[in-house]
Amino acid sequence: MKKSARSFIFMDLLCSNPYFFSCQVLMNGDKNILKVNIFGTDYPLKVNADVEYVKRVANYVDRKMREVQASKPNRPLHQIAILAALNITDELLKQNEPDKNSIEEFEKRLQNLTRKLELGIKEISEDIIESKQESDNHSRE
């Protein structure tokens, strides 16, 4: 079977209850089936990634759902899951956005280095011209 350009870590949720993660590994041919417990519910997942990595992902989701529940204790489970997903997505997008201050600082440093290079090139050019003129003067004498 050919792998697609984009490979998904979680190949399939092998149960009908779509909530979250603990961990137990079962083998099924060339795919791992990882049984995880998220927010008190067990989920067997077909995965194609490192088991330890998947455990970290599951634990993170579980932790985020528990954070939401702590701040919104009367919310139904599906709302806790949605709010946790939104919080995780917000974290991801903020990490992937370039920091405007960092970009401006980088541009300033780049301009400064460019200016120094231009000055260095100018000085070298002047030294070459001066050296050539001295050489020409010596050859005339």
Q: Mark whether 31 and 59 lie in a shared domain.
A: yes
What is the span of the domain harbouring residue 124?
A: 108-136
3-state secondary structure of 50: coil
The predicted model scores a pTM of: 0.56
Type of residue numbered 2: K
- The answer to whether residue 76 scores a pLDDT higher than 90 is yes
pLDDT at position 15: 45
pLDDT at position 74: 92
Could you please report the per-residue DSSP string of 55-95?
HHHHHHHHHHHHHHHHHSTTS-HHHHHHHHHHHHHHHHHHH
Q: Mark whether 48 and 77 lie in a shared domain.
A: yes
Most confident by average pLDDT, 82-86, 102-106, 126-130: 82-86
Q: Let me know if residue 1 belongs to a domain.
A: no
Q: Let me know if residue 2 belongs to a domain.
A: no
Q: Mark whether 85 and 116 lie in a shared domain.
A: no
Q: Let me know if residue 3 belongs to a domain.
A: no
DSSP bridge partners of 43: 36
Q: Mark whether 69 and 88 lie in a shared domain.
A: yes
Number of domains the chain contains: 2
CA angle 10, 91, 81 (to 5 degrees): 55
Q: Mark whether 22 and 66 lie in a shared domain.
A: yes
